[in-house]
Amino acid sequence: MIPGRLPGFLQAPTRFLFFTGKGGVGKTSLSAAAALALADAGHSVLLVSTDAASNLDEMLGVTLRNAATPVPDVPRLSVLNIDPTTAAETYRQRVIAQMDTASTPAERATVREQLSGSCTTEIAAFDEFAALLAEDSGQFEHVIFDTAPTGHTLRLLSLPKAWSGFLADNDRGASCLGPHSGLKMQESRFRTALAALCDATQTTVILVTRPDAGAITEVARTAAELHALGLDNQRLAINGVFHASDASDATAGALQQVGDRAIAHLPDALRALPCDAIPLRTFDTVGLPALRALLQGDTGPVRVPTATNLAAPPPPPGLNSLADELALQGHGLIMVMGKGGVGKTAIAAALAIALVHRGHSVHLSTTDPAAHLATTVNGSLPGLSVDRIDPEAETARYIARVLAQRGPALDEAGRALLLEDLQSPCTEEVAVFHAFSRTVSQARSAFVVLDTAPTGHSLLLMDATGAYHRQMVRELDSGGTAHIVTPLMRLQDPAYTRILLVTLPEATPVSQAQALQDDLRRAQIEPYAWILNKSLVATGTQDPLLQARLEGERRQMQRIAAGLAARCYTVPWLATPPIGIPELSRMGDP
């Protein structure tokens, strides 16, 4: 029996619970806390992360694997991470095993290389996701999904319908994912997954947001897109609701006003949903005690022993200092990366505007499927061009180019088969990579500031970049004579590319920035600097709850200063959202 004081989404929960929303709103914390509450109440629970940048391991104190792993000290709870790399290798082995026994080692090597791109990674991860939805053994009473940030999650949830339609209309040839017969074998699984997603008695989608206008706007759009996919059983969870202890405290009063205003202007579609409000807590949601306390209504917070009166290191310089350094280069690629919800889009826009103010022409773009860039800039500035890598437009452009190049040499049946294969959902991944490559090359003569998708999606793009690099090098080694410069080589060149990692002054975002930095270093890409966004330390707040949170912020500042970042810059918490060129211009002040 679930205690009544817990949120409504834990009262008579369906078997499948999806937590989705903009990055940084607390999906992982809420999904982990929900899984823990159900397990404590006697239910067998599997908690699944579909985010390549998941931090469930840090929260629960367990090493994530691509298999259900019991959580220590929680007898009925297991956790599983759908790791794209592991899933892709398993998928490759399965496809190669289906090849004719007479195939040569060279033919098998060719197929393995064809299956090294990001589209294979995506379908492999989806295949495991679909298996969980189609599984009917009843091993777990509840399966809770901690999803990647919105754009990537919508892509994942749309795949059952996309692949079912593709397979139904295409019964010949092979897709870029390997022997087509292998995909046809999975068709029933895809259809079962789609049925489970759309069945309100089996699946509930919890739309998670912060009391913030931008996050609420995105979750409203997500709700509409999920309705279009047939996922109608939705709830709203507003995480981090803050009430000031003393309205005279300027920072606390402004923080509460921002939240109150956002909640008061909820779109009608969200206002109609069942809603749970989770208070802002004084503690980081790391460890079982903190996760158990997170959903306990308005009861007092868990007290984890910490050092007191921590002195913050000298405050890092602001964005103006960073813009001065970047401007000295005269041109180049500036990639802004990090976990969803840390403020990458605003930081990227503010730096682009700062470089324009310093006399440079700047192309500002984004690889994020959620694409908030134009809304954030909300205006025009001479010397600044703003666009986005639009997956739909790039896919249509790519298909037209392939048909123009290869179509004339084919007969009518061959052209029809080629077009059929190009309708595969993974074509989009290839098209987006080509658009990314074009954007990277523009930095040879001007500044290109690239606002990237949240970490997991960006890492898949990096995978595609690496696969393309390996293919080009192999072709050169096999007889080519031309010198090549691949996108990966440009990203590895510190004179060409500056990688900026954005994080928040909290334990989980800092850990995720560190993990992203490790991933980049494995690809021989060295980050140039870290940016600590939304810092409360400089505000002088005396609110008791915020004061308690400052203790954790100082601890993270010390952690970064101890050697995580070669350079660090800071942006304070702003009462006015950084939307529009005037507000973005003011972000440069420390």
80-106 pLDDT, tens digit per residue, is 887 767 777 777 777 777 766 777 777
- 218-262 tens-digit pLDDT: 889 888 888 887 888 999 999 999 988 877 888 888 889 889 999
Nearest to 318 by CA among 500, 528, 532: 532
Active-site choice (20, 29, 365, 539): 29
Choosing from 21, 23, 24, 456, the catalytic residue is 24
Closest CA to 359 of 317, 331, 335, 380: 331
Q: Is the pLDDT of residue 47 over 90?
A: yes
Q: Is 27 a catalytic residue?
A: yes
Look at residue 108 and tell me whether its pLDDT is greater than 80. no
Q: Which residue has the higher pLDDT, 420 or 445?
A: 445
Q: Can you tell me the mean pLDDT for 557-575?
A: 88
pLDDT exceeds 90 at position 352: yes
Does residue 460 surpass a pLDDT of 60? no
Catalytic residue status for 51: yes
CA separation for the pair 581, 138 (Å, rounded): 54
Q: Which of 31, 49, 50, 51 is catalytic?
A: 51
The residue-averaged pLDDT of 525-531 equals: 93
Q: Which runs of consecutive H residues, i.e. helices, occur in 170-301? A: 180-185, 187-198, 213-229, 250-264, 268-271, 288-294
Q: Is pTM, for the whole model, over 0.75? A: no
Spell out the domains of the chain, with CATH numbers in brackets: 30-203 (3.40.50.300), 319-586 (3.40.50.300)
> Count of alpha carbons within 13 Å of 422, Cβ hemisphere only?
20
Q: Determine the Cα–Cα distance for residues 200 and 195; give it in Å rounded to an integer.
A: 10
Query: What pLDDT was estimated at residue 180?
Result: 43
Task: Give the sheet arrangement for strand 234-241, strand by strand.
Answer: 69-71, 74-81, 45-49, 142-146, 16-20, 203-209, 234-241, 275-279
Q: Could you tell me the two tokens for 427?
A: 């074509």
Residue 308 pLDDT more than 50?
no
Give me the pLDDT at residue 163, please.
47
Confidence of residue 303 (pLDDT cuts 50, 70, 90): very low
- Nearest C-alpha neighbor of 461 from the set 366, 573, 354: 366
Least confident of 32-46, 322-336, 371-385, 457-471: 457-471
* pLDDT score, position 167: 46
Among 20, 28, 366, 503, which one carries the catalytic annotation? Answer: 28
- pLDDT tens column, 490-521: 888 899 999 999 998 888 788 888 888 988 88
pLDDT beyond 70 at 290 = yes
- Considering only residues 299 and 508, tell me which one the structure prediction assigns the higher pLDDT: 508
Active-site residue, selected from the candidate residues 20, 22, 23, 27: 27
What pLDDT does 176 receive? Answer: 46
Contact 564, 309 (CB under 8 A): no
pLDDT at 419 over 80: no
Residue of 21, 23, 26, 338 marked catalytic:
26
29 is catalytic: yes
Nearest to 461 by CA among 124, 114, 127, 122: 122
